[in-house]
Amino acid sequence: MAGPSPKTCVACGRHIAPSEVYYRFTLVLQGEQDVLDASGGGTGDELASILQQLEAGPQDPRELEEQVHWERTGVICPACRSVVMRTLAPPSGSAGPH
Of 69 and 2, which is predicted with more confidence? 69
- pLDDT, residue 64, reads 78
Q: What is the DSSP letter of 40?
A: T
Is pLDDT of 79 > 80? yes
The whole-model pTM stands at 0.64
Q: How many helices (H) and strands (E) does the chain have?
A: 3, 4
The 10s digit of each residue's pLDDT in 35-78 is 766 565 557 788 788 778 778 888 887 887 888 899 999 999 99
Average pLDDT value over all residues in the chain: 85
Host H or E run for residue 8: strand 7-8
